Structure 1
């Protein structure tokens, strides 16, 4: 059996990134929308927290059909966020504080208001026609009414094809009809996108989060999705033919060689349908494709044990061959404390346990804004309060199918992406310190008591729990690079050992992932060996609900 070599250090392995959803972070000019100067104004807060870099969701020119993931100009800043000068000031502020910056880039699709698409849709003879996916209609057998070329369903509902009457063809949109998919088979498209990445690297980006990057290759011939027996839905999920299709790896290697090779840039992919069985194909050190990928089943795990099993499987598949990431939530998911913790009975304990898990694994952690404050899901009272296109479309589908508006609203509340997008509460003022104006999405009333100013002033707050753990990760490098060995991997209590690395000691992590007391799974550590305890100290008789303890392994 080959013994994996010790991990080689890299800045992006040690970094902890903090995702900023700009629209909801901080508004500097009172228009109700967070902006770049607002982010710059909070850099000292983020430095005090102890993160190492920011991931900014899209800040580019966009009509905002999908809150910026529909880009109309890759090289221009959206006017609601500021100017290129504002971006340069943010970049300088980050560098002055020793913080990195990775930018979100959307290379699978553009806005239908992008100049490329204006040209593409103008004529079948236009040189940019082939920059997008265009197909002829089927006929329905009852005349000349056009029918979509296949049965693919858009992620946001309905057909993934939109009819363009002026040129009598359909174009593909895996998401909104205002987000036409780019045709990566065209080398001119690829070269143009690589130039976009290179330009932003020149402007100060240290890397990129690549949106739905494993969807850029579509199945040859656009075949119908096979219909399960008894299924009568007009359109079916396109994952089988829209994700991980050849020649995806050739595209990613070409992008790596054109943009990332020879530059100290980080690449992390939003990669659906990637896990322990195939992540090496995308992120293996020898592959020259991506540095890392996101694993979205971490956002859906039903228990701490499921988190542990998923991570253990990933680690065993990649140890010494690739580097992992770990997240508990982002702008597309529920708030992690609501999903995995107990904010009603054990807000501080469960939030700090989740932070302990996130920050003690051999992986690059990504925090989502507000996790350090213990923010939770918020149920808006009417559908008109929601801004997320996916939520609104789903609500309309349910009501159209006969579901009552009340039941439809109750259903979409649970999974709405607006759960994580409500504005950050910075202080106790009427606008919560987010904006002097009317916020683009209502401020969640139940978030106000947990505002940042109060938590920064309170040494016992969730903010300071995160800050202590972030500082510990910097001090004890074995929490980054040490081998990961399970001690107890079933039931409510999870325990693992991080092996020594250089002069840094081996440590053990104990997590009681639940709201009942449990016995210790190992010999109880001595007090002088404890590096972190989220209850302040330990109870020698048992583990308390949601208790998290880190201690040196030599002090067992």
Structure 2
């Protein structure tokens, strides 16, 4: 087990009062003019993050990688990609963040590696001791290896037509449920697991305070997927939460000392339910601290479609879903709270109103309801000052592999261009990956060179410098919300109760702890709405904690108005 000098700075349960800030390094801050964000660039902005008040930086992958999937294809877990800097740079970032009271969490991508990882290169030899570190299978019976239709099964990959890729040197196929460049590790092999744990201990010894675990609920796979039989497997649900998942997570916790060192852990677990989240996060099971749920991110597409099949999202559906998770994890487990990340479009464009008139107010309302739920909030870079989706008009302007693949598949299926481009504009991951808009100078202050990707043209007015200078900005609102979480036991631990569940415009709930009640009220529309008398507690004498007004005697809420009140 690792003996860690940083343990004293991680008291029991510290993550319950923490606010996490996700950095997508490629787009955060460039320090050397090559147009790509890097680790020294992140270091240069630590004071900005400290002033915001965040407690943790979650750093998206900076490991050595061919960058086929923007770093989620790792070729060396113990080195930094030269695109982002050096091991010395990451050591300095950890030190400088700790000096400011900010912890650093690394992205852990261990469902798969890059096809250029030394482990995979060795496994291509059928006689290698690492052959079983990945899933190798022969062509289906009677088929010619390498020919169309010879794949061991009909399972599609997330970013490719098939999850099975033929390797001529091996004479067999390997499994990669995301892309051929990302072969899946075989977690059934104990040597694989312990190599991963050893790598994690190595990072902990360097001062890392925990891990965000990429698609961690895919590491245990059903036999139907890995056996190589011709039966198709649905990637939307069949491959997640396999039979040994809890066993593997508990073993990881024990072998790395995740609980022993009070390390921060959050598992990305697509397809999970409240029940699976409870199993993974209940303190008595010693697996993870929290998981990312995806249910609320899947409500604005058709029930039988993909993320690209757009559908209206009534407010009651959204707030009831979050309440379902609040209630489900109230007694066991812990919630993660997020609107944005590197895979999701900008929330002010998605669930708010990004027009110049209502962008600020709707960004504040979205932040208010999220941060006042029970759980650990996550802020994605630029969210804290209201960055919006990127206006793109042709497929040639997109960079994201998922978006480009969808475009070509949809065209092949006969969808018209306008429908495809509308879906991309709303849901593409590129919306989250534009460079951070630091100021209104050339390239938004992101780089002195040519940015690796398109800047949002609204950076002249929507930028961090302007927001920091404005006491009524989205940034100032986030500062208040973060400070309230730090100071208020009710916000951290209070019981949640949804009010006005079926109201189509008003989002209201209470948080209660030891006789203290906080009421949150927000108008989730771009028009005035009556403040309901029935269904809300008595407002007389309420103390305004955050917002414009205390609402006593108020009959109508302004568009996107939000208030946080302590009831008398």
TM-score above 0.5:
yes
Q: Cα distance, 1:403 vs. partner? A: 4.6
1:305 is paired with a residue whose SS is helix
Taking structure 1 as reference, are residues 536 and 526 closer, same or farther at Cα in structure 2, changes over 3 Å only? closer
Q: Corresponding residue for 1:305?
A: 316
Q: Corresponding residue for 1:321?
A: 332
Q: Corresponding residue for 1:549?
A: 563
The CA distance in 1 between the partners of 2:39 and 2:146, in whole Å, is: 50
1:430 aligns with 2:442: yes
The CA distance in 1 between the partners of 2:146 and 2:556, in whole Å, is: 74
Q: Cα distance, 1:476 vs. partner? A: 1.9
TM-score, normalised by the number of residues in structure 1: 0.92
Figure out how many residues of one structure are paired with residues of the other and give that number.
537
Q: Cα distance, 1:47 vs. partner? A: 1.0
Taking structure 1 as reference, are residues 387 and 534 closer, same or farther at Cα in structure 2, changes over 3 Å only? farther
Question: For each residue in 1:354-385, what CA deviation from the matched residue of structure 2 results, as whole angstroms up to 9, or x when unmatched?
Answer: 11011111100111111111111112233233
Q: Corresponding residue for 1:46?
A: 49
Question: For each residue in 1:45-77, what CA deviation from the matched residue of structure 2 results, as whole angstroms up to 9, or x when unmatched?
Answer: 111111111111001000000000000000101
* Contact 1:299 1:329 survives alignment (8 Å): no
Q: How does 1:169-180 map to 2 (within 5 A)?
A: 169-180=172-183
1:255 is paired with a residue whose SS is helix
The CA distance in 2 between the partners of 1:372 and 1:331, in whole Å, is: 15
Q: Corresponding residue for 1:353?
A: 365
Taking structure 1 as reference, are residues 419 and 196 closer, same or farther at Cα in structure 2, changes over 3 Å only? same
1:277 is paired with a residue whose SS is helix
TM-score, normalised by the number of residues in structure 2: 0.90
* Contact 2:13 2:262 survives alignment (8 Å): no
The CA distance in 2 between the partners of 1:490 and 1:226, in whole Å, is: 46
The CA distance in 1 between the partners of 2:16 and 2:440, in whole Å, is: 37
Question: For each residue in 1:229-275, what CA deviation from the matched residue of structure 2 results, as whole angstroms up to 9, or x when unmatched?
Answer: xxxxxx66324431111111111111111111411101110001112
Q: How does 1:17-96 map to 2 (within 5 A)?
A: 17-96=20-99
151-160 or 486-495, larger mean C-alpha shift: 486-495
Taking structure 1 as reference, are residues 221 and 551 closer, same or farther at Cα in structure 2, changes over 3 Å only? closer
Q: How does 1:116-155 map to 2 (within 5 A)?
A: 116-121=119-124, 123-139=125-141, 145=147, 147-155=150-158
* Contact 1:386 1:441 survives alignment (8 Å): no
Q: Cα distance, 1:458 vs. partner? A: 1.1
1:378 aligns with 2:395: no
Taking structure 1 as reference, are residues 524 and 69 closer, same or farther at Cα in structure 2, changes over 3 Å only? same
1:336 aligns with 2:347: yes
Q: Decide which of 495, 498, 503 is 2:508's aligned counterpart.
A: 495
**RMSD between aligned alpha carbons?**
2.3
2:442 is paired with a residue whose SS is coil
Q: How does 1:61-460 map to 2 (within 5 A)?
A: 61-121=64-124, 123-139=125-141, 145=147, 147-222=150-225, 237-259=234-256, 260-301=258-299, 302-344=313-355, 345-403=357-415, 408-460=420-472
Question: For each residue in 1:524-553, what CA deviation from the matched residue of structure 2 results, as whole angstroms up to 9, or x when unmatched?
Answer: 635761111157977712122211111112
The CA distance in 2 between the partners of 1:403 and 1:352, in whole Å, is: 37
1:286 is paired with a residue whose SS is helix
13-22 or 491-500, larger mean C-alpha shift: 491-500
* Contact 1:349 1:535 survives alignment (8 Å): no
* Contact 1:58 1:68 survives alignment (8 Å): yes
Question: For each residue in 1:476-498, what CA deviation from the matched residue of structure 2 results, as whole angstroms up to 9, or x when unmatched?
Answer: 22111111123322212122111
* Contact 2:152 2:229 survives alignment (8 Å): no
> Tell me, which stretches of 5 or more residues in structure 1 are unaligned?
1-7, 228-234
Q: Cα distance, 1:387 vs. partner? A: 1.8
